[in-house]
C-alpha cells in the first residue's frame, strides 16, 4: 500500500523516530520542529524539513503530532488550523493532560478535522526500531485511516476506545514503567552488592519469572552505566510522573507503589541527572549505597 504524505510536527526523540521509520517504509514525510538541526536531519533522511508548522499542514494528507507540552500543542494547533482541510485526520501522540487534548479535538472538529488521541507505549530506543504499541482512541473509522501509517512505525496498533481512552491507558502503562524501572535498578543493586556478575544476572532474570519489559530495555543501560543519549530524559519524565499522580487523585485511586517511587526520580534531579536516561535510577541508588560494590 502506498502511504499517504505524512506530516510530523515535533522532531524530538519520538517524532524523529516516527519520521525515520516512515521514510524506510517509503512514505513522503514533511516535518517541523523549532530546532533547525532537527529539520536538517529530516532533510538528510529524504524528507522535507519545513520552516513552519503551517507549511506541514499545507503539504500533508495526515499529521502526527509529537509535542512536549500543552503550550507547544496549543501554539501548533492555532497555527495549523487555518490550513487544514475538512476530512483530514490528525493523531496527537504526546503524553499530555487529557483536558488539553480534548480542547484541541473540539477546535479541530469545528473545521471538519478529526483529532485522535494516540499515545504510544515504548521508549525512544524502541521507537527507533519500530517496537512500539499505539494506543489509538477516537472514531474507529478515523483510526483505520491512520493504521497504515502506524504500521510503518509500530509493532502493535490497538483501537482502545473513544477519544481519551488512549491517554488513560498510557497513564496506566506509565505507572507500571515507573515502578518497574525502579524495581530493575533495585534488583541490580542487590545483585551487585552480592558480588554477582551483572551480565549473568541479566540473562538469568530475563528468562525467569522476575522479568519485565523495563528490565529487558533498561537493565543493559544500568549495567553499562550508559545513560546518554537518553531514550527518555529524566527531566522530561517528571511531566509524566505528575500526570499519573494528578489523574490518580482525580479518580480517587490509591497508588502506593507509584508514590513510593517518586523520591528516587526527584533524587536523580538533585544529582544533576536531568538529561540522563531514566535508567540512571541505578546510579542514584548506587550513590545511596557506596562501597566497593556500590561505588560508581
Mean pLDDT, rounded, of the chain: 96
- Say if strands 62-65 and 6-9 run parallel, antiparallel, or are unpaired: parallel
The mean pLDDT value for 213-226 works out to: 97
* Domain 6-161 and domain 168-288 have a common topology: no
Residue 38 has pLDDT above 90, yes or no: yes
Residue 296 has pLDDT above 90, yes or no: no
Q: How far is residue 183 from each of residues 85, 217, 234, 245, 287, measured CA to CA in Å?
A: 47, 13, 16, 19, 16
Instruction: Compute the distance between CA of residue 78 and CA of residue 255 in angstroms, rounded to an integer.
Output: 36
Q: How many CB atoms are closer than 10 A to CB 207?
A: 9
Match domain 6-161 to its CATH number in 3.20.170.30, 3.40.50.720, 3.90.1150.10, 3.10.110.10. 3.40.50.720
Which CATH number is associated with domain 168-288?
Answer: 1.10.1040.10
Instruction: Compute the distance between CA of residue 200 and CA of residue 207 in angstroms, rounded to an integer.
Output: 11
Residue 295 has pLDDT above 50, yes or no: no
Alpha-carbon Rg for the chain, nearest whole angstrom, is 20
The mean pLDDT value for 81-97 works out to: 97
The mean pLDDT value for 236-240 works out to: 96
SS3 89: strand
State the alpha helices, DSSP H only, in the chain. Answer: 13-24, 36-45, 53-59, 70-80, 98-109, 124-128, 140-151, 165-193, 198-206, 213-224, 234-250, 256-270, 281-288
pLDDT one-digit tens code per residue, 103-132: 999 999 999 999 999 999 999 999 999 999
Catalytic residue among 101, 170, 233, 275: 170
pLDDT score of 292? 57
Q: Which of 286, 125, 289 is nearest to 218 (CA)?
A: 125
Rounded to the nearest angstrom, the gap between the alpha carbon of residue 26 and the centroid of all alpha carbons in its chain is 23
pLDDT one-digit tens code per residue, 142-173: 999 999 999 999 999 999 999 999 999 999 99
Written as one string, the DSSP assignment of 163-186 is: TTHHHHHHHHHHHHHHHHHHHHHH
Query: In this structure, what DSSP letter does residue 277 have?
Result: B
The mean pLDDT value for 199-211 works out to: 98
- 170 carries an active-site annotation: yes
Task: List the domain boundaries for the chain.
Answer: 6-161, 168-288
Q: Which of 159, 168, 152 is nearest to 135 (CA)?
A: 159
Record the pTM: 0.93
Which residue in this structure is represented by grid cell 509529537?
A: 66
Q: Which of 259, 262, 257 is nearest to 281 (CA)?
A: 262
pLDDT score of 207? 97
Instruction: Compute the distance between CA of residue 222 and CA of residue 47 in angstroms, rounded to an integer.
Output: 35
Instruction: Compute the distance between CA of residue 105 and CA of residue 92 in angstroms, rounded to an integer.
Output: 9
Amino acid at each position: 500500500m502506498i502511504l499517504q504524505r505524512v506530516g510530523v510536527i515535533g522532531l524530538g526523540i519520538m517524532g524523529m523516530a516516527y519520521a525515520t521509520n516512515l521514510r524506510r517504509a517509503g512514505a513522503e514525510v514533511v516535518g517541523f520542529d523549532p530546532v533547525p538541526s532537527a529539520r536538517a536531519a529530516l532533510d538528510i533522511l529524504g524528507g522535507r524539513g519545513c520552516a513552519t508548522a503551517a507549511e506541514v499542514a499545507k503539504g500533508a494528507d495526515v499529521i502526527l503530532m509529537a509535542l512536549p507540552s500543552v503550550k507547544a500543542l496549543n501554539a501548533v494547533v492555532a497555527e495549523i488550523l487555518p490550513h487544514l482541510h475538512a476530512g483530514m485526520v490528525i493523531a496527537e501522540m504526546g503524553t499530555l493532560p487529557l483536558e488539553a487534548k480534548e480542547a484541541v479535538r473540539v477546535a479541530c472538529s469545528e473545521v471538519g478535522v478529526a483529532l485522535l488521541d494516540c499515545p504510544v507505549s515504548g521508549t525512544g530506543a524502541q521507537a527507533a526500531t519500530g517496537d512500539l504499541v499505539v494506543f489509538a482512541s477516537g472514531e474507529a473509522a478515523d483510526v483505520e485511516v491512520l493504521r497504515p501509517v502506524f504500521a510503518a512505525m509500530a509493532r502493535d496498533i490497538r483501537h482502545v476506545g473513544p477519544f481519551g481512552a488512549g491517554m488513560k491507558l498510557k497513564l496506566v502503562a506509565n505507572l507500571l514503567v515507573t515502578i518497574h524501572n525502579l524495581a530493575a535498578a533495585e534488583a541490580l543493586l542487590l545483585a551487585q552488592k552480592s558480588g554477582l556478575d551483572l551480565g549473568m544476572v541479566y540473562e538469568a532474570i530475563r528468562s525467569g519469572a522476575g522479568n519485565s519489559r523495563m528490565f529487558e530495555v533498561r537493565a543493559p543501560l544500568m549495567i553499562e552505566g550508559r545513560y546518554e543519549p537518553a531514550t527518555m530524559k529524566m527531566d522530561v519524565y517528571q511531566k509524566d510522573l505528575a500526570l499519573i499522580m494528578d489523574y490518580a487523585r482525580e479518580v480517587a485511586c490509591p497508588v502506593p507503589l507509584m508514590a513510593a517511587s517518586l523520591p528516587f526520580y526527584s533524587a536523580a534531579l538533585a544529582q544533576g541527572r536531568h538529561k540522563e536516561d531514566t535508567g540512571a535510577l541505578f546510579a542514584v541508588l548506587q550513590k545511596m549505597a557506596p562501597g566497593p560494590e556500590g561505588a560508581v
